[in-house]
Amino acid sequence: MQLKSAKCNFSVCFVYVPPPKPGILDNAFSDVLKFISKQNPDIVIGDMNARVGSGCTNFLHKRSSLDKCTNQLGKKLLTTLCNMTICNGFARGDKPGNFTFTNANGSSVVDLCLIHNDSVNNMTKFTVDDCHLSNHCKLNLQLGQVNATQSMKVCDKIKWADVYKLKFLEQLRKIGKELEQTTYNDYCSLIYKAARAAGMKTTGSYCFNNQGPSWSDNELLQYKRSYRRQVTLFRKCNPSTNISEFFEAKKLMLQAKALYLELSREKKIAYFDKVQNKICATKNAKEFWSALNTFRKSSKHTEHGDISLNQWEEHFANVFKTHCDQNYDTVFEQISCDMLDREFDMFELNLAIKKLGMKKAAGSDGICNEVWKNLNLSFKQKLLNLFNSIYSDPSSMPKAWGEITIVPIFKKGDANEPSNYRPISLINTITKLFTTVLVKRLDKWCQQNNKITEFQAGFKSELAEWTRLLC
């Protein structure tokens, strides 16, 4: 089979060789090896019934294997296909060399994947995954350059959960005395410490998760693990030695499967009933579309093609390139005003925190708005002191407050073209909080001093929509 695309051209050979008879080297396998050597494909994959142990076709590519045995077919393969590398036990994702076949007689590595030595650098990952519908496992080979998602720096972030709210407040109260200085890094580290102690997850990434269906929960996962355990026990039973144990294991496996499927159906029905009731009870457009999107097919593109970080940087540099002439003089008017010069107070901070939205993505510091909304008085006072110190000395503003994390969201077209992605910019929530406090004060000062013309309609609070048509 020939696989062609804009950036790759691979030939793949799928192989199946019947199990060899004891003591006899099947001529069919020799013919297969001759065909492979003649065609010289990039990838050879399939059930070859060739056990190669930890042997290597290329001494430069050392490998390991849980199967320590080598049969006649395996020896023949190792000495013939010297221009290919065995992925099992060599590639990233299968360093132990996991078993690929399990039945009542035991486990072995008979399903192999080989890649041409010239194409080894194009291999990014190889895994052996369980398949409960067969005694053979699934072989997954990933090819291509390491994309931006894999190379991207994964930032820690707090995954807020309301069930841990009381524990979080308790931990803040315990560690509040440790916060003697009001530096930004010290403040964030203590918030993370409290979140971890409360039981919240504090490690994450901007990649999408796929942990099963939406209605899956811990109870369903337990039933699924129980079914998998029974499948493993059933495969280990040998009917030729103990037929009663074999049928008993089969009975338990089928019972575990029936319980898992029945609970899965119940969870699915209950989940969609809940979503339907949520749609009927929605009070605004955001809740309605959030519930309705559950019924839509997922269109999230989890892979960013073969786009390097340099390509992303070049693309977004052109997208956000300024077209303004930088050769101009800026005139600053020195203003002395008690309203602007005084420090922020707790009322202004609480007002800004109240305006923060819920369920918003965090920036590079990983702290979401729910954290700011659930701070106790002690941490709010430390945060207020931090804001006032930066307001009095702008040069002390942390560099992280100016960092923006750009997440590319695939739209349509070629996944290897950066222009087919829509950039989503994520800024630190503490930056939003500080600027909200600052803008509120500036807006009040502008209104009292008539600094905004009556002909301006944009960015003016308490202005009706219809009045903007008259401005």
DSSP per-residue letters across 336-400: --HHHHSPP-HHHHHHHHHHPPSS----TT---HHHHHT--HHHHHHHHHHHHHHHH-GGG--GG
Give the pLDDT band (50/70/90) at residue 313.
confident
pLDDT for 235: 78
CB 77 within 8 A of CB 142: no
- Give the mean pLDDT of 145-162: 62
Confidence of residue 438 (pLDDT cuts 50, 70, 90): very high
Which is nearest to 50 in space by CA: 34, 31, 74?
74
Highest mean pLDDT: which range of 129-138, 177-186, 245-254, 324-333: 245-254
For the chain, give every domain's residue range.
2-144, 162-207+302-324+337-469, 218-295
**Predicted pLDDT at 354:** 92
Beta-carbon contacts of residue 214 (< 8 Å; ≥ 6 apart): 271, 294
The residue type found at 460 is K
Question: Residue 299: is its pLDDT beyond 60?
Answer: no
Number of other residues whose CB lies within 10 A of the CB of residue 292 = 13
What does the block give as tokens for 237?
A: 């039973």
Determine which of 134-143, 164-173, 326-335 has the lowest per-residue pLDDT on average.
326-335
Between residues 400 and 153, the one the model is more confident about: 400
Give pLDDT, residue 319.
83
Q: What is the pLDDT of residues 202-256, one digit of tens each?
A: 765 444 444 567 788 888 888 988 898 888 888 778 777 888 888 898 899 899 9
CA distance 346 to 417: 49
Q: Return the percentage of the chain with pLDDT > 70, whole number.
A: 81
Quote the pLDDT of residue 6.
Answer: 47
In angstroms, the first-to-last Cα distance of the chain is 67
With a cut of 60, say whether residue 300 has pLDDT above it: no
Write down the pLDDT at residue 208.
42
Q: Which CATH architecture has domain 2-144?
A: 4-Layer Sandwich (3.60)
Q: Highest mean pLDDT range out of 97-106, 280-289, 360-369?
A: 360-369
At 339-359, the pLDDT tens digits run 888 899 999 999 999 999 888
Average pLDDT over residues 137-145: 82
- Give residue 304's pLDDT: 55
Q: How confident is the model at residue 374 (pLDDT cuts 50, 70, 90)?
A: very high
